[in-house]
Amino acid sequence: MEYAALAARFGTPLYVYDLDRVDAARRDLIEALPPGTELYYAVKANPHPELVRALRTGAGQPCRVEISSTGELDVIRQAGYSGADVLYTGPGKTDAEISAALAAGVRTFSVESPGDLTAVGARAAALGITAHCLLRVNSASASASTSIRMTGTPSQFGFDSETLPEVLPGLRDVPGAELAGLHFYPLSNARDEDSLIAEFRHTIGLAADLSARLDLPLRLLDIGGGFAAPYAVPGHRPRYEKLRTELEHTLDRDLPGWRDGAPRIAFESGRHLVGDAGTLLTRVVNVKVSRGRKYVIADAGINTLGGMSGLGRLLPVAVEAEADGERERASLVGPLCTPGDILGRDIQLPTLDRDDLVTIPNVGAYGPTASLLMFLGRPAPTEVVVRGDEVLSVSRLVHTREQSDPA
């Protein structure tokens, strides 16, 4: 697909999502996992309904979905998923959203604390049904020393593994809730395959130990993700050549019934499945020099590509331009009235002028919905979904203010 033609047709800032790349990422990851295991798509990575639908349909094994809000619940229903396909997660589930999820047919929840389990059970019992609950575990130790750590420290996420024996008696007989297994998510965006394998081995061993030592039901074991993808820089998502064999050996040793579904084994992925499917097109609106430093001002800023709005996971981006020749050091900034609107500080950029088109690759995950969309009231970027040379959909997120009767 010709980016310049799309930018001329739909304007900028513009996200372009390629479903052929989504298909390829799903196929490659499923082939890298042990046969018979399940893969959940973390909808938070990109909740665009067309991408979510693509992960359900098409050739090969469909993904299930992991969600943590009623907004994501609406998205996955638009994409054709049923409640039976859902794992509902998150540390702060409200009564209203638990009820909405149950009413939509969701029956599997990851719970993070005794209070969370009690809340899910109470809403299920009120509806006369049973919620199947996975206990999310915050392991006291970890294997991988790199990547984004999601375990091993005090956290709002999960039951601390060392205190689980103390609280477990009070979790076994919560009305409306049935313990069904364990959920782990120890790291995100693993730096290399060996780190990923080591973390999964650690998780599987801990799950087997907890299940045996505490007599915990283990019908479903979700061992999380950590599958990597480049973000806003050139590069390719990794291929995992050893993962399948190494995990099969570990599962055979620690959980020998897994091949017969006892337990079912699940993984999660967000960025790896959709990251390389997305490209952001932005146009230069001004170039200036201030006290010897050059600033290239684009029509896309942190309201368009926010990198989860301040978590420090974005800088620096790497861009390409139509005339991508000689390069210079400059800062790529957005159009917002804040000094924090920086996409790349003092980075290598092509020599750019007003109206030049710039492309930022590998932004199919954590794009518009992870950005400061409402800041300054600027329109959200247009999002175009393509397959090959065909444009399948064109959309833009629109926010409206709902009025309530003060009485």
Specify the pLDDT at position 60. Answer: 84
Rounded to whole angstroms, the Cα distance separating 228 from 189 reads 4
Write out the E strands in 127-271. Answer: 131-138, 148-149, 159-160, 177-183, 187-188, 220-222, 264-269
Helix 114-126 / helix 95-103 crossing angle, nearest 10 deg: 50
pLDDT digits (tens, 9 = 90+) for 126-182: 999 999 999 999 887 655 444 444 555 556 777 888 889 999 999 999 999 999 999
Tell me the residue type at 198.
Answer: A
Rounded to whole angstroms, the Cα distance separating 174 from 46 reads 34
Neighbour tally for 395: CB within 10 Å:
14
Residue with tokens 């091949």: 259
Going along the chain from its start, the domains and CATH numbers come out as 33-269 (3.20.20.10), 276-395 (2.40.37.10)
Mean pLDDT of 302-331: 74
Specify the pLDDT at position 147. Answer: 47
Specify the pLDDT at position 154. Answer: 53
Specify the pLDDT at position 17. Answer: 98
Residue 108 pLDDT greater than 60, yes or no = yes
Beta bridge partners of 15: 280, 383
Tell me the residue type at 132.
Answer: H
Reading the block at residue 336, the tokens are 């917002």
Mean pLDDT of 211-236: 95
Rounded to whole angstroms, the Cα distance separating 282 from 157 reads 37
pLDDT digits (tens, 9 = 90+) for 337-361: 998 899 998 999 999 999 999 999 9
Rounded to whole angstroms, the Cα distance separating 407 from 91 reads 33
What is the four-CA torsion angle of 366, 367, 370, 371, rounded to 10 degrees?
150
